[in-house]
């Protein structure tokens, strides 16, 4: 599977032909970030996919559920080999900051910091 690269604003890159497509580990990294940022029920063909951010962020006492959902989403992403580190900070009723380190089947290791705003 190939995915188009996204820029720092989350928009697709265009204009450079095949060089605008992510490859191997970069593709896996981008898929992990996209899946974590995706909200449950956003895709009409699979309403159970992704994370139920609206409900879990509204209950600040369930930090463990948030971590479990992120772990499951990350490890279920094609190409992810292992989740090495996971933490969540700055949790409010509408936002959170996630830091994770994972490896891919291509032996790449990525550290990502992802902001969620519900």
User: Is the pLDDT at 1 greater than 70, yes or no?
Assistant: no
CA-wise closest residue to 35 among 21, 48, 51, 56: 51
Query: Total domain count for the chain?
Result: 1
Interacting residues of 30 by C-beta distance below 8 A, sequence separation 6+: 3, 5, 6, 22
| Residue 100 pLDDT | 97
Instruction: Say yes or no to pLDDT of 25 above 70.
Output: yes
User: Under 8 Å CB-to-CB from 59, ≥6 apart: which residues?
Assistant: none
CA torsion angle for 104, 106, 112, 116 (degrees, to 10)? -60
- Torsion angle, CA of 43/45/50/53, rounded to 10 degrees? 50
Q: Which residue has the higher pLDDT, 97 or 61?
A: 97
User: What is the pTM assigned to this prediction?
Assistant: 0.84
Identify the burial level of 38 via C-beta atoms within 10 angstroms of its C-beta, where 0-12 means exposed, 13-18 middle and 19 or more buried: middle
Assign residue 72 the CATH number of its domain.
3.10.450.40
Domain that holds residue 8: 3-117
Q: Pick 34 or 22 by higher pLDDT.
A: 34
Give the pLDDT confidence of 63-111 residue by residue, as tens digits.
888 899 999 999 999 999 999 999 998 888 888 899 999 999 999 999 9
What gap in Å lies between CA 57 and CA 117, rounded to an integer? 9
Q: Is 116 helix (H, G, I), strand (E, B) or coil?
A: strand
């Amino acid at each position: 599977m190939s995915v188009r690269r996204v820029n720092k604003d989350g928009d697709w890159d265009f204009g450079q032909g095949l060089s605008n497509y992510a490859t191997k580990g970069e593709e896996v990294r981008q898929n992990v970030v996209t899946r974590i940022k995706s909200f449950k029920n956003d895709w009409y063909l699979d309403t159970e996919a992704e994370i139920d951010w609206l409900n879990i962020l509204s209950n600040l006492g369930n930090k463990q559920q948030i971590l479990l959902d992120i772990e499951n989403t990350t490890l279920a992403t094609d190409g992810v080999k292992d989740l090495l580190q996971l933490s969540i900070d700055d949790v409010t009723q509408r936002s959170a900051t996630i830091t994770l380190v994972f490896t891919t089947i291509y032996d790449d290791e990525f550290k990502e910091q992802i902001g969620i705003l519900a």
